[in-house]
Amino acid sequence: MTTPRNSPSPSMSSYENAPTRSVSVRGEDFAYRELGTEGGVPLILLMHLAGTLDNWDPRVVDGLAARRRVVTFDNRGVGGSGGSTPDTIEAMARDAVLFIRALGFDQVDLLGLSMGGFITQVIAEEEPHLVRKVILAGTGPAGGPGIDKVPALTIQATLKGALTRQDPKLSLFFTETAGGRRAGRAFLERLKERTQNRDKDISLPSFRAQLKAIKRWGRQAPSDLSDIRQPVLVANGENDRMVPSRNTLDLAARLPQSQLVPLYPDAGHGGIFQYHDEFVTRALEFLQS
């Protein structure tokens, strides 16, 4: 069974106007959006550090929803979701599983981006019967090189962005080349397409909790990725300065059933946004194979 018992039917609208809904998870309302086709295995999207519902590229969501039922959500304490944000990846993973169960799904596919990819790895390992297939983008394993430096890089970029009035995602997600900057500006414009019923920005306490969780993940003992037996698609840009791209290659080499998307050229942490058309095509092929 994959049709949810507690969730309305998905909207066929675009992500720009998909309604924001909520579901109770152990007494706290979790905000989510759902769109796409009915039936089949739902695809759950897990977000990056500090991201909310409005930080997903609508081209990626709409592209995936053309063929799949897609669900985005705010984890505990983030954006429109209630409660306090956990400060470990493992606790975030447990919350994500509770959210999935609250919607009535008993099998899902997962797409985890950056921190969402850390969470996805834990879910795939701890809930093997819940997860059918996995997509990991811009992410790495526990203890991966450079991951514990993500909080410092993020804080530096945020401060610089405040001084220069520039969104920190431009420097964190895209390369400094002309092509990278052009792609970054286009991405930021797409994020503005939704003008009504936008999500709340992440709060400072929640942001701090996520930073702490990421630092812990980066300093943990290396993961035994052989325990993740599901098929996994791995993607990233070739110049990821947040979660260095060698982590992507490491994931592809160590996961037993992995497929590596060739690293996107002149792209960084936001490679799947910069190359959204190519990524969506490859992701759908993988999920439908």
Q: Which residues contact 43 (CB under 8 A, 6 or more apart)?
A: 36, 64, 68, 69, 70, 71, 108, 109, 110, 111, 287
pLDDT bucket at 105, cuts 50 / 70 / 90: very high
Are the beta carbons of 100 and 2 closer than 8 angstroms? no
pLDDT higher than threshold 80 for residue 4: no
Strand ranges inside 121-262, DSSP E:
131-137, 232-235, 258-260
Separation between Cα atoms, residue 129 and residue 106, nearest integer Å: 8
Amino acid letter, 22: S
Report the DSSP beta bridge partners of residue 134. 110, 232
What pLDDT is stored for residue 2 in this prediction? 42
Its pTM stands at 0.95
10 Å Cβ neighbour count for 274? 26
**Which residues sit opposite 20 in a β-bridge?**
33
pLDDT at position 138: 98
User: What was the pLDDT predicted at 238?
Assistant: 98
Taking every pair of Cα atoms in the chain, the longest distance, rounded to a whole number of angstroms, is 51
Question: Torsion over CA of 149, 151, 155 and 160, rounded to 10 degrees?
Answer: 40
Give the mean pLDDT of 186-203: 97
